[in-house]
Chain A
Amino acid sequence: MTSARHNRADRHAVVLVGNPNVGKSSLFSALTGARQKIANFPGVTVEAKLGTTRFENTELSVIDLPGTYSLAARSPDERVAIDALLGRLEEVPAPDGVVLVLDASSLDRNLYLGTQVLEFGLPAVVALTMVDVALSRGIRVDTARLSQALGVPVVEVNVPQGRGVEELKSTIHRVLHHPGKALELPFPAEFRQAVDGLYGVLCDLSVDLGFKPTRPEAMRLLVDLGGPLHDEVRQAGGQAFDTKLAEFRARAADGRGLALVEANARYGQIAAWMREARQVSAPEGRTLTDRVDAVLTHKVWGSLVFVVVMGLVFQSIYAWAEPLMNAIEGAFGWLGGTVAGWLPEDAAMLRSLVEDGVIGGVGGVLVFLPQILFLFLFIAILEDLGYMSRAAFLMDRIMARFGLSGRSFIPLLSSFACAIPGVMGTRVIEDRNTRLTTVFLAPFMSCSARLPVYTLMIGAFVPKQTVLGFLGLQGLVLFAMYWVGVLAAIPTALVLKKGILRSRVTPFLMEMPSYKLPRPRNIARVLYERGGSFVKRAGTIILAVSIIVWAALWFPRSDDITRAHEQRREAARAGHAATLAAAAEAWRQGMTGPELEADPAVAAALADMRELEATDKAARDRDETEFGHDETALAEAQRAGRAAYESSLLELRRRHRGALSPAMQMLAAEQELEEGLAAIDNDEAAAHAENSWLGRAGHVIEPAVRPLGWDWRIGMAAIASFPAREVIVGTLGTIFSLGDVDEQDEGLRGALRNARDRDGSPLFTLATGLSVMVFFALCCQCAATLAVMRRETNSWKWPAASFFYMTTLAYLGALMTYQVAHALGG
């Protein structure tokens, strides 16, 4: 890797450098039009982002670096900035110039980084942002004097109003054609000499190092302790280099800390410049941010607002998303039916692939889109406002008890909806070890995909009763399931943070940015991007996995099973015809079944009877939703409904006289046939499933899941759920002979209750149900989370560790739960 710059004349690259939260990302978007996440939180961008723009005939690549307060390179993360400036990053063009983004409202701190960057001597332009914010605080910056002091052009930029962007482009274009001049600050003589000496030593080692060192790097090496550059140089220069470095450090320090020498020189020079180039007209009063913060971080009000805000986030995710989710479910049901209608009647395999595999799989995942959008809507608004820093401020003390930082709180909270945004949200955590710990903990939070599993198991096996007079036992168990994950996460955090991921210090040191109004366009963009990538994933990798899982459950297809069930279907139809014939004979001697069906009097009675049944069912459903939470009221409503049904029936009997009896028999026979055929379909599906590759694999793993109180069917459903845990509901439904049923279906709950083990005892007991729930609470059954963990940690080590740790923990937890609950007689 060299820093050679052989970009052609019509093609240049510049790098954006600046503190976090100065509007760098918005400037990047304004320059390049590239879509990128912008948020009002320090450090939201971690990777370098690239975009291109044109000026006249020149193509300009723009590199956006993570916001940073300093070029000090104490860790590999921090070194990215220097490497990008020197063109040493792969896949990022070597910059021909720098755009230094400075916040006019806090210029001193911004210029600390600014002086470090200008020492590299690249052609540079200053983009001065937040000038309006500064003015509102009575701070006026003289750009001409600032430009003179720094030796580079200064352009005022206001991205929301679109001012200054074109001027910035033309200024960049202008400076790129002149060589830059390195800024020289009045460091103490001993310090300067030590940097020069160290620079000489580095240059001598440049062949072994494999790159040409620069003077600013020599300064970083001198001042920063334990940086990655030091490790590299030590490899090249050996023990002898360390001795020399110690000598240089001792000479330069002059009894004081080197960091202090550097900071004194920089801030001293900055203060001198500011006396010339800045006027502060009004004494600093209470800003709007201060007044808002007086409430939002207040002992009582702050905590109250915090609880309400978090409650709102949960409310929106669980409740507001519900109607949208139902609509999506309905849309996919309709789509499945429509598509199935297009396919030839006899193409059962293709229909199953489309309905169960493609639409079932992709639809099942897309149902979660509203939840994801609601979560990101809230996160985007809160980030844009600047509230996230306040949440971290409020929670830091509690998180610190577990060795975490306040910044870990928001990602972990998001993980209750979905671990994926949670893991991505850990980018705001500066300290690498704290960040890794938080990434590791995120999948322990009970995400929304676990909810269907809990609802199903609790509905089937936890009795509907109240404890302590007012608490519902079912709700209590659900609440407990959420705590299982949290309680497992706490010791994990302690072990990680006190053990392998111990940080020397976990500095909190967080800038509290001023509040800003959320930008609707930015929020819309975040939602569009997040929603888009989610839909895209569902349409690609999840679609592919769904098809593969479907194939594993379909093949090999046994014709014997199909034939046997076809015979049962024919028997059922014959039974129906016989019942019909008997009813015809009973009504009128010598009448046959088909004649009965054609009889107009009976047909009229049948139509009325169907209508009555439909009205009654609708009334029962309405009562269920309206009074479901109140058993006495529900019983009362059901009694009233029953009475209404009886009186309507009497009325019909009067109207149709004798024709009502055969009509009722026909209706009953029809329902019986329908139910019978559905049961045969399900039996067939179950038999095929057992015979499939996935089914056979289930038998192989059965000994392993026996101690958890499971049989092969539960084990198989659990294994099929490893790519995505919500798969278990559909899989259990198929396996327990009920086809595709959702968690609200009383039928699946009933089927689970009625399911028998091979010895005839009930397969599911309360102990089994609890063991399944604990397993799902602790297991990392989500391929997407593991993939995101890899991307965010840039290593397979973490997702692999997480997978094995959580699977082991889930197995042991389920084992313990089952054995204890079983012993207690559950």
Chain B
Amino acid sequence: MELAVVMVAVGIALAFVGWRVFATLRVARGAGCGGCGSCKPGPTAAGS
């Protein structure tokens, strides 16, 4: 039980870091971010 809780916590932490790394790499290639919402991206460009 205890181990399960810890495993889930570590799993979530790893997944979160992985997601952030992936999102940052995507931004590096010029794509939009993973969408944390803090930078308030607007509607996508019309016609692009």
| Chain A residues near B (Cβ < 8 Å) | 1-7, 13, 34, 50-52, 61, 63, 87, 89-94, 347, 349-350, 353, 533, 536, 540-541, 543-545, 547-548, 551, 787, 790, 795-796
Contact = CB atoms under 8 A, between A and B. Distances in A.
A267 B43 CA distance: 38
A782 B33 CA distance: 22
Interface string B13-48: 110110010001000100010000010111111111
A6 B13 contact: no
Contacts of A540: 16
B9 A353 contact: yes
A541 B16 contact: yes
Given A3-B47, A92-B42, A545 B32 contact: no
Given A94-B47, A544-B17, A545-B17, A551 B10 contact: yes
A790 B41 contact: no
A358 to B, nearest CB: 8
Contacts of A89: 45
A91 B24 contact: no
Given A349-B3, A787-B24, A93 B17 contact: no
B17 A61 contact: no
A464 B42 CA distance: 59
A93 B43 contact: yes
B46 A5 contact: yes
B14 A4 contact: no
Nearest to B10: A551
B47 A2 contact: yes
Q: Interface centre among B16, B38, B44, B47, by most A CB within 10 Å?
A: B47
Given A91-B32, A94-B46, A350 B13 contact: no
A4 B47 contact: yes
Nearest to B7: A551
Given A91-B32, A93-B45, A790-B28, 19 more contacts: A6-B46, A7-B46, A34-B40, A51-B40, A87-B46, A91-B42, A93-B43, A94-B46, A350-B5, A536-B38, A543-B13, A544-B12, A544-B14, A544-B20, A545-B13, A548-B17, A787-B24, A795-B28, A796-B28
B14 to A, nearest CB: 6
Contacts of A13: 46
A796 B12 CA distance: 26
Q: Interface centre among A2, A93, A94, A796, by most B CB within 10 Å?
A: A93
Nearest to B28: A796
Nearest to A532: B38
A541 B14 CA distance: 10
A540 B16 CA distance: 8
A543 B43 CA distance: 31
Given A350-B2, A541-B16, A541-B20, A87 B47 contact: yes
Contacts of A91: 32, 41-42, 44-45
A790 B20 CA distance: 14
Contacts of A34: 40
A445 B8 CA distance: 39
Contacts of A350: 2, 5-6
